[in-house]
Structure 1
Amino acid sequence: MPTPSEDLTRQIPPLSERLQHYRVPEGYFDDLSTRILSQIPLDEQAPATDAVEVPSSHRRAKLWVRIRPWTTIAAALIAVVALWGVWQVSTQEPLHSSEEVASSVYDLSVTPLTDAEYADYLYETCVDILLDDYAIGETLAALSDDEI
């Protein structure tokens, strides 16, 4: 009993039969040039110059095409500056002792206020808040329900 691959190989036609489809008719190339030339119209004049006319839309490059190199350079510079900033922050020495931490916090602190200065600050702040609340209340009372 033949195997399936042997059955398939028997179904393939021989090479001579397969190549019969690809023949050129007799005398095809004998008059080919005259047939091609007869299809070209002779009443049209060919242009005298060999110059190619460029469409007006392609004469000037688009804006983006002209500024693309500059945007690339700008992006690269921004990336370098950003990386430099990150590198500078990461290379700062950390504070090691509690005295260094305390001195750095003290340097950032505000000068202490006396009790009188603190009371004056609170009084001025409270008066401003109360006046603002009073002005808002008076404004709302003056408005009718339709205006609100």
Structure 2
Amino acid sequence: MTSLNNINKNNPFKVPENYFEDFSKEIMSQLPEKETRNKVVPLWKKVVPWAAVAAMFVGIISTVGIFNNNSGLNPTSPKDATQQQAMLSETDEEDFYKYIQDEAAESIYIDALYSEVN
């Protein structure tokens, strides 16, 4: 049997000089050149975000405009105030008289119902 001591302990394989230093350069030189393509982005993908932002601002502005529309409540001149007061007083009187008439009619109806029952 051969003993392990008799086996040559030197590595039988050799690597050429500067093999690993030039390895990546050699591999890259053997690869075909890659074509660089420019991405074509459709117009709608560029426009949609801006349209969404514009729609958001239109919504905010219209909402603020609706809540801040106090032109009907705050008269700008004394003449407008007088006209508004006259309209409100006429409406109030008309509503009051209608309410009184409705109450009177209801009272007469209830009296008629109770008088028939008894």
TM-score w.r.t. structure 2 length? Answer: 0.40
TM-score w.r.t. structure 1 length? Answer: 0.34
